[in-house]
Every structure is written in structure tokens, then in C-alpha cells.
Structure 1
């Protein structure tokens, strides 16, 4: 199987991240979740690239990206995203993040605000994963340690077996060609920082449109969490992907692409 051809992106601190860049039109940047290559968006990209310029950034410590094993923080991941937007000279892109990739966007917003983007789509990710007296839309009764173990065991858990072509994509991206150069154990500090994050304040400051996508069969939290998250943003909305689990863009690329297109179309009205 052909994967999207990638190009190198050198960061200010000497890391080398990779990205693909296909299609023309309004720029959309996609980010994958924990233990997952951005190449897993391939079938979504095939649907979107006829209308948009779709750019997939392989996050630091995933895929074939090269970096020193330091600064394993969500803050650094958000800074990488800002550097990438500037490096590519993107004019107010739309950001799409799945799972940990969505938290990277929240970290970016916390550090740099939303003035350089058009809006953002967050897929099956709450801004606060640990519940407490002020928040009940994360994991119930879990500690940082147990959640970290949960994160490192899972890649893109699905409810139903994807089509054969998607399974072959996963085999290519997760095992044969895009396996991370870094072990799960080496990345544990990043997962711990991810689990401890609380990005509610950055969302409350957001003025640009935001869409929170819940999934009907998430293994993490009820899909209705998306409506609560949308209420944090002045211009926030939510929707539910039907008949899919956490690996939503893999289980149903067509439904995922339609949700993106419908939301982007609304921005122009």
C-alpha cells in the first residue's frame, strides 16, 4: 500500500518531524493520537483532498520522527504545532486532532491563542481526563498511573473490525513502515503529562469556532461529553459519530469526512 509521501520539518531545537501535504484550497492540519501515525488518516484524506489542502503532521516521538528524548511534555507538542504552522506559512488553518492529538491542539491554544487559526475539531478527547469535584467528563475513579497504563496499552481501539483496506493501512502504518523509533517505556513521561492535563481554561478563552466530536461507543467516556465541552467555548458545537469507537476515522472514514465538510461549510455561511 502507498502511504502519503512525507517531507521533513526541522524544528528550532533540531528535531526532524515529517508531514504530508496534499490537495489545494483551505488548509486543514490533522494530528493523530497516542501511539498512532498520522498516516492512519489516509482514507479520510482521500475524501477531503479534492476540496481542501490537507496537511498531516507526524507528532514528535511518533512514526519516523527524529528527536532527542527530552521535553516529553504536552507543552512541547503544542509548540511544535505552532512552529509547524509558521514554517508552512499557513493562512489560518483548521486544526483537527484525534485523542492525544486533540490535547496537543488544546496545548497550542493555551500557549499561543487562536488568532492564527480558523477553528478546531477535537475528536473523542476531553480537556480534563481526571474527574474531581469540578469535572465529571473524564475517566471515573482512575489515577494518573492507571490512566497512563491504559494509554500505553491502547493505540486506536475500535468497536468493529474496519474494512480490509483499513486493516492493511494499520498494518503498514503501525507495524511495517511507520512504527515509532521510540519505545512505549521511553514515552511514558509524555503520557503522564497528557493524562494530568487540564485545558478547560484554554478552551474558555477560545473565540474561534470549535467542534467536539463524540463517538457512540467510546471506551473512555460517554459520547455526550462532547456537548459539555462545547459549552466551554463561546462558539462551540458538538456532534456524535454513530456506530464507531475511539478509532472513529478508521472505522468510518466516510462519516468522519462528511462531518468535517459539513462543519467547514458552516464556517462560510
Structure 2
């Protein structure tokens, strides 16, 4: 599979993987800031997201293999791997399937554990938008607002809406497959093993994704770990506190 990506800067390779419903475009501003610090930044669309190919399945071993293939296809050696949420699980799964092929690991606001399905209303809302009937994005947002109360979350989701070659609205995400695999997207990692490569976990102080009780599991699987908590940030740490996020990342990466 040929994953879509955007690259900026020169220097130590640093690869960023977005979370569920996201894309590499969510990371453009952060990528440019990181690149200015002497890094070659690759922001990648994972399968069934953004401009990357749609596939009939969506499991973490597959996402990890996609990442491995991407690194080989683009001759990227010994990169720093950064993943947010679903992307964080992808880089953790990659580390366990392909150890010793990366220099450092950064996991953003996700723990190596299973999570119950909690995107059911969002999936209902996205599915409720009549793509062939709506005339503009405002109509789509009005429908989505019945399922998702947060305007910022709605705007984030609607970044996936675009007009295809026929001029009809469509989703960049592979909505049917994501709905089918949503339980596995929240599932625990497979083939877990201890990873001794330097690892940074960044969490938002107001997020519930990484709890204090999770740190024992994190330390067991990643004994060479640092945990950094960003104040006044929820799950989307990099968007809510970008300066603090970049500072944490650069302190670890350099």
C-alpha cells in the first residue's frame, strides 16, 4: 500500500501518524515548527483516512505493516515515530512487530490497553449526512450537530468532507470499514513485548485516555519511558497546547 504523506524540512527523520478521523493535514502547522528544529518531518495518512487508499480491513498489525512499508518505500532509516491516539497505538504496535528499526518512540494521549467503543454517536452522525443531497458544508454540520455537540469536534470531522470528481460530496475516511472495525480500533495491542527504546508518552491533563493507573502497564512494556503531562489540554494535546506540545517533543527528540 502506498500511503499519502506530506514532507517538510531536512535532518533527522520524524514520522507522524494521526488519530481516528484525522489526516496528515491536521499536522501541517506542527510539522513546520518541528522541521525548523532540524528534522525531516513526514506526516502520513493512515489507511482508510485522508488521501491514502481505502482497504477492506483496519487492524493494528495491518497499520503497523503499512508504516513499515512506508519507511522502506521512502528509504527512511532509524526515524523518530510519533503517533496520536489511534496513531499512537499504531506506532506501539509497530515497535513490537519491528523492534530496533527506529530511534525513539512518542505516544500521544493513548495507553497500551483496550478502550470501550465511545464514538458511536459520531459514527451515527457521519452516516446520517445524505452526501448526494446536501448542497454545502453548513447543511452537513447542521445534521452532524444533532449527534455531536462540540463545534470544534464537528469542524474537525468535517475536514473529511470533500467533493469528488463528479462534484458530489464524499468522505475521505472509509466510513463503512471504520464502522465495521471500530471495536478493534479500541482494542489492545497484539503480540505485546517489552520495548527498551527511549519512549515518551504525552498526555493532556484534562484527558481521560491515560490515567495514573495506566502508568504501571506503560512502564512494564516501555521501561525506558518518560511521561509528560500537558496542562490545560484534553485529548487533542497538539491542537490545544501546541507550544507546550512541541517543547515536550523537542526536549525528548533532540
- Does 2:178 align with 1:192? no
Q: Is the 8 A contact 2:200 2:227 kept in 1?
A: yes
User: What residue is the counterpart of 1:125 in the other structure?
Assistant: 110
Q: Does 1:258 align with 2:229?
A: no
CA deviation string 1:89-114 (max 9, x = no partner): 1120000000000111122122222x
The structural deviation recorded for 1:147 is 4.0
Structure 1: gaps of 5 or more residues = 1-10, 131-141
* Cα deviation, residue 36, structure 1: 0.6
Instruction: Number of aligned residue pairs: give it.
Output: 225
Give the root-mean-square deviation of aligned CA atoms.
3.1
Contact 1:118 1:209 in 2 (8 A): yes
Aligned positions of 1:68-217 closer than 5 A: 69-113=55-99, 115-130=100-115, 142=116, 146-147=117-118, 149=120, 152=123, 170=156, 173-176=159-162, 180-198=171-189, 201-202=192-193, 204=194, 206-217=195-206
C-alpha contact (below 8 Å) 2:162/2:171 kept by paired residues? no
Residue by residue over 1:19-48, the C-alpha shift from the partner in whole angstroms, topping out at 9 and shown as x without a partner, is 011101111000000011121112211211
Q: TM-score, normalization: structure 2?
A: 0.77
TM-score (norm 1): 0.73
Return closer, same or farther for 1:148/1:250 CA change in 2, 3 Å cut-off.
closer
Larger radius of gyration: 2
Unaligned runs of at least 5 residues, structure 2: 127-149, 165-169
CA 1:199–1:147: 2 relative to 1, 3 Å: farther
